[in-house]
Every structure is written in C-alpha cells, then in structure tokens.
C-alpha cells in the first residue's frame, strides 16, 4: 500500500514518499518519514517491512559512516547504489529482506542520479521511477509529462498532477506525503502547499 517516486530535473532530484506504515490491511502509523539521508548529498526512500527497514537503515548508515571515517573519502551515489545492491542480493539469497529502495544523489562531477532497487537486488539507473501501488496509477501521467530539462517549478507542478491522479483513482487513503530535494547545495525538505 506504499507509494514512493522520484524524478530528476535540471540539476536536482525530487523525492516523494507517503507517510503511512501499513501492515496488511491495517495502517500502523501515518507520520513516518521514509526518505532517509545517508550522506550530505544522498538520500534513500525505503519501503517494505518496517522491521527489515529499521535494521537495514542502521546497518547502511553505520557502514557508510565507517567507510568515510576510515578512508577520508565520501562515496558517490553510484557507489552507494552498488553497495546496497550487493547487500540486498546477498540478503535475498540468505534470509530475504523485504525492502525496496529509491536511491538519489548529487555528485559534483556527474550531477544528479536516481536509482531503482528492488528486494531481489535488481538495480537500474532511471530519470524517474515509482514504487508501490502508485506505479499502477501515475506511471502514465509521469511519463507523459516528464522532461529531464524540467526546472523545480515544473517538477512541482508534475508532482501535484501525479498526487491528484493518485488521490482520485486509488482507494487507499494516504494521510500525507514527504517531499525532499537534492541538488548541489545538499539535501533538504521541500514544503509544497
């Protein structure tokens, strides 16, 4: 029942996630921020089993922080995405964590990047991606109106269109959404009224 998506624009990545924590047909909480910062210019949207997520978030944050302390270097978004891919691939073959990820970041040399990673370890770099039930309803709207040369204003208009379609067509009530942006200045929350 979770919905998360992201899109890249002209020198930024915009991430959107619902705030629900569902378990089967029961909504356990409705104020969760699923977009986690893992570095100054990198963020990940986690969706799936809440127990697996809390374990995996701690592991990822501590491992990346340890690498930075040991070497003095920060990992690129591509490196973080491949690290997460390897961890989920190994987990899938052993215990099977039920986690899906959208990884986004800004690197000074490359610019913006957005990755889709599912629970089996399939990783794909994309310009826009959707996870959860939202993919059934807003894929066409996002694909039809998306351009990689969008500025922030156009991206926000597109996000509002997608959320309007989701609200109109999806029977599940989403109590709220979290919006975050990543660009050359770092990552920060974005307020959309």
Q: Are the C-beta atoms of 166 and 131 separated by less than 8 Å?
A: no
Number of domains observed in the structure of the chain = 1
Query: Residue 176 is inside which H or E element, if any?
Result: none
Domain region containing 105 = 3-189
For 67-126, the pLDDT digits (tens) are 999 998 989 999 999 999 999 888 888 877 888 999 999 998 899 999 999 988 899 999
Q: What is the CATH number of the domain that holds 147?
A: 3.60.20.10
For 34-44, the pLDDT digits (tens) are 888 987 799 99
Report pLDDT for 122: 93
pLDDT band at 153 (very low <50, low <70, confident <90, very high): very high
pLDDT band at 19 (very low <50, low <70, confident <90, very high): confident
Query: Residue 156 is inside which H or E element, if any?
Result: helix 152-169
d(CA 51, CA 84) in angstroms, rounded, equals 17
Count CB-CB contacts under 10 A for residue 145.
14
Mean pLDDT of 145-163: 91
Q: Are the C-beta atoms of 6 and 158 separated by less than 8 Å?
A: no
Token pair for residue 66? 């340890």
Q: What is the pTM of this model?
A: 0.90
Report pLDDT for 129: 93
Report pLDDT for 190: 84
């Amino acid at each position: 029942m979770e919905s998360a998506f992201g899109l890249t624009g002209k020198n930024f990545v915009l991430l959107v996630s619902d705030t629900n924590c569902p378990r089967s047909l029961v909504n356990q909480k409705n104020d969760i921020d699923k977009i986690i910062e893992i570095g100054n210019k990198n963020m990940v949207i986690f969706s799936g089993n809440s127990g697996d997520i809390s374990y995996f978030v701690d592991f990822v944050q501590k491992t990346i922080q340890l690498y930075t302390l040991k070497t003095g270097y920060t990992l690129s978004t591509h490196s973080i995405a491949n690290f997460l891919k390897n961890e989920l691939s190994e987990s899938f073959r052993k215990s099977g964590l039920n986690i899906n990820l959208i990884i986004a970041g800004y690197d000074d040399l490359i610019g913006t990047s957005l990755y889709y990673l599912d629970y089996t370890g399939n990783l794909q770099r994309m310009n826009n991606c959707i996870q959860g039930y939202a993919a059934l309803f807003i894929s066409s709207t996002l694909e039809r109106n998306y351009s990689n040369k969008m500025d922030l204003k156009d991206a926000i208009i597109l996000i509002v269109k997608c959320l309007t379609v989701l609200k109109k067509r999806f029977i599940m009530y989403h109590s709220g959404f979290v919006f975050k942006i990543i660009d050359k200045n770092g990552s920060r929350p974005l307020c959309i009224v």
